[in-house]
Structure 1
Amino acid sequence: MATATPLEVPERSKPRARGRLQLLLILLVVLGPMVLATSMYKLKFWVPDGRSYHGVMIGNGESLSDLGVAGQNERWQLLVSTPTACAEDCQRLVYLARQIQVGLGRDASRASHALAAAQPASADYQALLSREYPQLQHYPLDAQRYLQKVGEAGPQLWIVDPHGNLVLRYDAKVDGKHVLDDLRHLLKLSNIG
């Protein structure tokens, strides 16, 4: 009968140890990224400071009705809102919204532009809108509800998705190129509208 010397390793333990190592590596490759991503989200480390958009992101699921606007569209929308009558800054934003839609080129049919004002426009400006902006949609705005949500009295430019959700907000001093870049990026990533 042959006896094993202490220096000899049984033949079965080498493949078993190798199999365990392979199992651990597979689990690490599969579960490691999920654990890392969850940790990054929960503990807020390695989160990039930069962003790829220029406006204020509205990420809490607010819709047009939460803003005090009674209206719905089936396309992406550039909405100009003002809790007063449409004055100089508001008129600039209405012009800018139309120019941005035209600037979309072949994707212009996926977007529209609209004005939501709490007070009616002057007769001269209303005539100008009818003549120069025939596709501009008009919505009533509940000024009290709007001021509670926004907290600013000046006109704002909003990007609204086809479901009526608010996506981005810009103030009256916004550069139109930034809004156009943001909207192009959203249209590129979106399958709706």
Structure 2
Amino acid sequence: MNPSLTLDDTQLRRRNRGRLQLILILAVVFGPMILATSMYKLNFWVPQSRSYHGELIANGKTPADLGVRQDAASQRWQLLVTAPAVCAADCQQLVYLARQINIGLNRDANRAEHVLAAAQPLPAEFQAQLDKDYPRLKRFALDTGAQDASLQQGTAPQLWIVDPHGNLVLRYPAGSNGKAILGDMLQLLKLSHIG
């Protein structure tokens, strides 16, 4: 007696059901990875809303790409004000704003510092005010010739948030809302365990 070489209907249904289950398992495991990769590469279904107020700089640029000449990298978050031209009223307002944001961080104030990088010598009156009222302000030289063209800084002063690894994170133009910048800074410090 030879066993039948053909499969009956129940065996065919079981085999088809097993194949379908395998396909579903593979789809559940690999489907999200394929979808996420496609969304990233083809830039579709990407949310347009955001929770930050500045311009996101997510390309690995550092203050050196702005032309800032620091002696050593800081281990803290920085509120960096760059002044490619004369530090006039809008620049001075950003320096004041950076200090106020640092103070507004309350218990996290020691995780951040405020910094001024100026391309030209500061006006004597402002220099005296900084020496008197801003004892913790770090000051560096700014070489406008060494700026990376992709950052498009121009000649207007700007405020930058720099992470403890030395990466530029967010950029704000002069006249930005201080409460919005403080909110962004608090959110970064809340999410970060560095600095």
Give the letter aligned to residue 40 of structure 1: M
Query: Residue 83 of structure 1 contacts residue 147 of structure 1 at CA under 8 Å; is this kept in 2?
Result: no
- Number of the residue aligned with 1:186: 188
Query: Residue 66 of structure 2 contacts residue 144 of structure 2 at CA under 8 Å; is this kept in 1?
Result: no
Equivalent runs, 1:140-155 vs 2, <5 Å: 140-146=141-147, 148=149, 149-155=151-157
What 5-or-longer segments of structure 2 have no aligned partner? none
Query: Residue 103 of structure 1 contacts residue 180 of structure 1 at CA under 8 Å; is this kept in 2?
Result: yes
Within 1, Cα distance between the matches of 2:92 and 2:75? Answer: 24
Equivalent runs, 1:6-155 vs 2, <5 Å: 9=8, 11-71=10-70, 72-146=73-147, 148=149, 149-155=151-157
Query: Residue 63 of structure 1 contacts residue 166 of structure 1 at CA under 8 Å; is this kept in 2?
Result: yes
TM (norm. structure 2) is 0.88
- Number of the residue aligned with 2:174: 172
Cα shift at 1:15: 3.5
Query: Residue 65 of structure 2 contacts residue 148 of structure 2 at CA under 8 Å; is this kept in 1?
Result: no
Paired-residue identity, %? 59
Cα shift at 1:123: 2.3
Within 2, Cα distance between the matches of 1:52 and 1:191? Answer: 19
Within 1, Cα distance between the matches of 2:17 and 2:173? Answer: 62
What 5-or-longer segments of structure 1 have no aligned partner? none
Query: Residue 147 of structure 1 contacts residue 153 of structure 1 at CA under 8 Å; is this kept in 2?
Result: no
Give the letter aligned to residue 111 of structure 2: R
Cα shift at 1:166: 0.9
- Number of the residue aligned with 1:162: 164
Within 1, Cα distance between the matches of 2:178 and 2:148? Answer: 24
Give the letter aligned to residue 186 of structure 1: L
Query: Residue 83 of structure 1 contacts residue 146 of structure 1 at CA under 8 Å; is this kept in 2?
Result: no
Give the letter aligned to residue 154 of structure 1: A
Within 2, Cα distance between the matches of 1:38 and 1:147? Answer: 30
Within 2, Cα distance between the matches of 1:10 and 1:167? Answer: 64
Cα shift at 1:25: 1.4
Superposition CA RMSD, Å? 2.1
Q: Give the paired residue count.
A: 189
Give the letter aligned to residue 15 of structure 2: R
Within 2, Cα distance between the matches of 1:82 and 1:121? Answer: 10
